[in-house]
Amino acid sequence: MSDKKVFFFGEGKAEGSREMKNLLGGKGANLAEMTSLGLPVPPGFTISTEVCTHFYLNKQQYPSGLEAAVHEAILKVEKIVGAKFAQQDNPLLLSIRSGARVSMPGMMDTVLNLGLNDETVLGLAKAADERFAYDSYRRFIQMYSDVVLGVSSHHFENLIEQERRRENVESDSELSAKSLKALVTEFKKVVLMETGKTFPMEPQQQLWGAISAVFSSWDSARAVSYRRIHKIPEDWGTAVNVQAMVFGNMGEDCATGVAFTRDPSTGDKRFFGEYLVNAQGEDVVAGIRTPCPINSESANGSQLATLDVLMPKAYAELVKTYQVLEKHYRDMQDIEFTIQKGKLYMLQTRTGKRTANAAVRIAVDMVKEKLISPKEAIMRVTPAQVEQLLHPRLDPRHKKEVIAKGLPASPGAASGEVVFSSEEAEELKKKNKKVILVRHETSPEDIGGMDASEGILTALGGMTSHAAVVARGMGKPCVAGCGVINIDYKNQLFKVAQYVIRKGDIITIDGATGEVILGHVPTINSQLDEFFKEFMQWVDEYRSLKVRANAETPHDVKVARTFGAEGVGLCRTEHMFFEESRILAVREMILADSKKQREAALQKIFPMQKEDFKAIFREMKGWPVTIRLLDPPLHEFLPKTEPEIVSLARVLNTSKETLQAKLRTLHEFNPMLGHRGCRLGVSFPEIYAMQVRAILEAACELIKKEDHPVEPEIMIPFIGALAEYRLLKADVLEVCEKVLAEQRITLSFTVGTMIEIPRACLIADQLAEEAAFFSFGTNDLTQMTLGLSRDDSGSFLPLYVEKGIYPIDPFVSLDQEGVGELVSLACERARKTNKSIKIGICGEQGGDTSTIEFCNRLGFNYVSCSPFRVPVARLAAAQATLKAK
Ligand code: PEP
Ligand code: MG
């Protein structure tokens, strides 16, 4: 611990500065900074966070020398103010405030008006006036008792309420000096009753009581849980700021207020704030009186008197001050001020919190004002804020009754009637109804229903479940793994706590928080304005990672392009198989008894696949498109319910029993590790041959007829051995050569593989010799590395993860677990044999901010994510580059 424990500020000089947030906390560092800037800050001192750490490590004892340092600092304050602490005549009063490195709003404690007792209150009355003195005294007893002595505030509030009634007045500020005096006597009785001790009269004892209470508030239950939620380290500690009081409650020429240097909700460049005449800071926060707008720009139609009219001199000073602060900090500030007898004092400045819209707007404006550089602007907006901008969100002004909470699987918010089946969702959609699809889990057959719904709620499944992945791809809100809801398909309802929600009832889901809400909550759309476009242009200039999208429908590909995708990183061809018009041919193909039959069925699918690829190439206008050959186990395409089986048997001209027997042979015991991916390609070469032909013919025809470049990348999934890759690559090339010869055209295309089996990482050097590109399929790679299998809905043992038994959320960043190590090892080995191999990622983590930073570090060429995450990933990629520098 450093020798210096107490940092003084006052009269234009400060021992601290804004750079010292770790030691002085945010508030202390900025009070010091404002003092050095020559702004009107009441003098005071900051007890460092190191003292807090010492306090906790040493059974709540203070380090030696602290008392002397505090004493000395108080003498300095006394000299500047011209008043003396604990002296009856003209007493100095102090404020004691917490202040950690990062703001923890409302979590820790504050004591104002400290130093008052039965004697000093007389001195204060003489120096100012009696009413003010007793108002300050009753406030002090109330606050100190609450914060330091643990006497609940409601005792005091009740007494004030009684007094107001007795005096027949509406607000505290109308209470007379006599009433306030009487209250002080009553308050002291409450303290004696509640604590068994008299209220401390000795100012030194009050001071140390308050300092201890502030330090102790670091450990209060609410502060601890706040830190847990916001991932703030326990050992940071808080500083304590002790400052000469200035009074906003000394009369009608006094006020207190808060303001933002720009509008925190829109980012508009206008000074924006609220104030109260004749009040102290906590009155503004407590909401007892309605604050007034500081100027007409803040008025929003309010008729209340504005500060610029009421106290023009102090207001002009405030304007000058905020301009100095914004220029100095080069960011929007959130300030607190007090006006005492017409004179302005600054009590706090900090970087103001803002909405996503405002963050972009302010960053762009500040570049134009030459306050910050484009690089700084890029770092000022978080990827989460960009994400918010892309989705509608719940109107925060609206009340909501939350009935359940699941995983925030796909952001955005939506309301609609509850339905329990995809068919019903599609039916109601046709009637222009808005629905929320509620399922235990979803499967590929639900795509239509999901598409017809406003949002999806599932009881099972995690962040990588089918519902979550597909919803993210569609840009629709989804709450997954909401285990508390009890779905009863038979009776078409779900139960949760005391609620029974039936089909047709309206609910709202918030996919950004995981909340399920009763009834309709209006949403607000954030629009992507000119500011956003300009901001994203800078983002693109500074990143080196390319960003692609995982998409397989022309619609999704188009969306991806409008969001700035630079290619398709993963086109899952099986998604094209599920469409109603195709599934029958697909089933015929799978159930074929001979190669000939299979080829006949494939011929039916071929033209459709080819048209799909054409449409995708067309939308991508020359950007690379990675097309993955068929991946999932075949049984996923087969019918499951009895009626479906019966009707398929009829079409195939076979008996139900024969079909059932065949289905049993195709059933995978371990679908994720069974007969899937490249293994299907080895067993049924004609499937991949059909797909490769469709890709190449589509590309050739497009080049010939539409005259724009096409860049197909053919990807073989699930490779675990070099031999598999060699065999399949040869098959692929054979078809390609044939098609090119037939079409008489040259075309550049590449063949590569997905890396999604741990063994593929280990043999990356061998594979890289033969592959033009690698795409890390981190969904499979994660589950295989962690030894967690996905259930049919594709989720990683959600209950396990929920209960915190498995310490990893499989969706979270790659660099946190062994998966990242495997990826890094694979890159290193691959580059040994193929320096220029193209490397990308297409698992769900491809859209995760810290994974993007990780991929940037490893020198990836691109990341690929769902279309709606593309702008988020672009920003994350630019920030990763800037951070690396
Ligand atoms: C993966 O495994 O990461 C991947 C993208 O493939 P899928 O999710 O389709 O198995
Ligand atoms: Mg996979």
SS3 labels along 12-66: CEECCCHHHHHHHHHHHHHHHHHHHCCCCCCCEEEECHHHHHHHHHCCCCCCCCH
pLDDT of 282 higher than 90: no
pLDDT confidence of residue 59 = 93
| Position 443 confidence tier, pLDDT thresholds 50, 70, 90 | confident
pLDDT confidence of residue 461 = 74
pLDDT confidence of residue 793 = 46
pLDDT confidence of residue 284 = 65
| Position 792 confidence tier, pLDDT thresholds 50, 70, 90 | very low
pLDDT in tens, 162-172: 999 999 998 88
DSSP for 75-94 reads HHHHHHHT-EET-SSSEE-E
Give distance in angstroms: CA of 570 to centre of ligand 2.
Answer: 10
| Average pLDDT value over all residues in the chain | 91
pLDDT confidence of residue 800 = 56
Question: What is the percent of the chain with per-residue pLDDT over 70, rounded to a whole number?
Answer: 95
pLDDT of 557 higher than 90: yes
| Position 382 confidence tier, pLDDT thresholds 50, 70, 90 | very high
pLDDT of 494 higher than 70: yes
Which ligand sits nearest to residue 718's alpha carbon? 2
Owner of token pair 């999934």:
717
pLDDT of 397 higher than 90: no
**Mean pLDDT, to the nearest integer, of 237-252?**
94
Q: Any bridge partners for residue 244, and if so which? A: 94
Nearest to 609 by CA among 634, 648, 582: 582
Give distance in angstroms: CA of 756 to centre of ligand 1.
Answer: 8
Nearest to 254 by CA among 332, 341, 193, 183: 341
- Is 466 among the residues known to form the active site? yes
Nearest to 276 by CA among 147, 172, 159: 172
Pocket residue to mutate for ligand 1, from 572, 668, 783, 785, most atoms within 8 A of Cβ: 572
pLDDT in tens, 710-749: 999 999 999 999 999 999 999 999 999 999 999 999 999 9
Q: Whose CA is nearest to atom 3 of ligand 1?
A: 777
**Mean pLDDT, to the nearest integer, of 371-389?**
93
pLDDT in tens, 315-362: 999 999 999 999 999 999 999 999 999 999 999 999 998 878 889 999
Task: Specify whether the CB–CB gap between 357 and 332 falls below 8 A.
Answer: no
Lowest mean pLDDT among 133-137, 380-384, 637-641, 746-750: 637-641
> Which runs of E-coded beta strand occur in 477-619?
478-480, 486-488, 493-496, 499-502, 506-510, 515-518, 523-524, 546-550, 568-572
Say which residue, 290 or 659, is predicted with more confidence: 659
Task: Specify whether the CB–CB gap between 811 and 819 falls below 8 A.
Answer: no
Lowest mean pLDDT among 286-300, 475-489, 721-735, 789-803: 789-803
Pocket of ligand 1 (CB under 6 A): 570, 572, 631, 756, 777-780, 842-843
Q: What is the dihedral of CA 794, 799, 805, 807, to 10 degrees?
A: 40
Strand, helix or coil for residue 261: coil
How many C-beta atoms lie closer than 10 Å to residue 298's C-beta? Answer: 22
Pocket residue to mutate for ligand 1, from 780, 823, 866, most atoms within 8 A of Cβ: 780
- Is 398 among the residues known to form the active site? no
Which ligand sits nearest to residue 864's alpha carbon? 1
pLDDT confidence of residue 107 = 66
Task: Specify whether the CB–CB gap between 539 and 531 falls below 8 A.
Answer: no
pLDDT in tens, 82-98: 999 999 999 999 999 99
HEC states along 304-329? CCCHHHHCHHHHHHHHHHHHHHHHHH
Q: Whose CA is nearest to atom 9 of ligand 1?
A: 572
**Mean pLDDT, to the nearest integer, of 393-416?**
88
Lowest mean pLDDT among 104-108, 147-151, 240-244, 454-458: 104-108
pLDDT of 227 higher than 60: yes
Question: What is the percent of the chain with per-residue pLDDT over 90, rounded to a whole number?
Answer: 70
Say which residue, 728 or 845, is predicted with more confidence: 728
Pocket residue to mutate for ligand 1, from 578, 668, 678, 779, most atoms within 8 A of Cβ: 779
Give me the sign of the Cα torsion angle 356, 360, 361, 367.
Answer: positive
Task: Specify whether the CB–CB gap between 15 and 8 falls below 8 A.
Answer: yes
Instruction: Give dist(CA 245, CA 243) in Å, integer.
Output: 6
Owner of token pair 């029993």:
657
Task: Specify whether the CB–CB gap between 190 and 200 falls below 8 A.
Answer: no
Q: Whose CA is nearest to atom 8 of ligand 1?
A: 779
Strand, helix or coil for residue 681: helix
pLDDT of 60 higher than 70: yes
| Position 77 confidence tier, pLDDT thresholds 50, 70, 90 | very high
Nearest to 389 by CA among 271, 515, 482, 267: 267
pLDDT confidence of residue 667 = 85
pLDDT in tens, 523-548: 887 667 899 999 999 999 999 999 99
Counting from 1 in the atom list of ligand 1, the atom nearest the Cα of 776 is 3
Burial profile 780-800: b = 16 or more Cβ within 10 angstroms, e = fewer: bbbbbbbebebbebbbbbbee
Reading the block at residue 182, the tokens are: 């009487």
pLDDT confidence of residue 1 = 78
Instruction: Give dist(CA 47, CA 16) in Å, integer.
Output: 11
Give distance in angstroms: CA of 102 to centre of ligand 1.
Answer: 39
Instruction: Give dist(CA 519, CA 508) in Å, integer.
Output: 6
pLDDT confidence of residue 442 = 85
pLDDT of 36 higher than 50: yes
Task: Specify whether the CB–CB gap between 96 and 143 falls below 8 A.
Answer: no
Which of 54, 155, 391, 466 is catalytic? The answer is: 466
The backbone region for 744, taken as left when phi is positive above 0, alpha when psi lies in -120 to 50, beta otherwise, is left
Which of 482, 678, 761, 842 is catalytic? The answer is: 842
pLDDT in tens, 600-627: 999 999 999 999 999 999 999 999 999 9
| Position 513 confidence tier, pLDDT thresholds 50, 70, 90 | confident
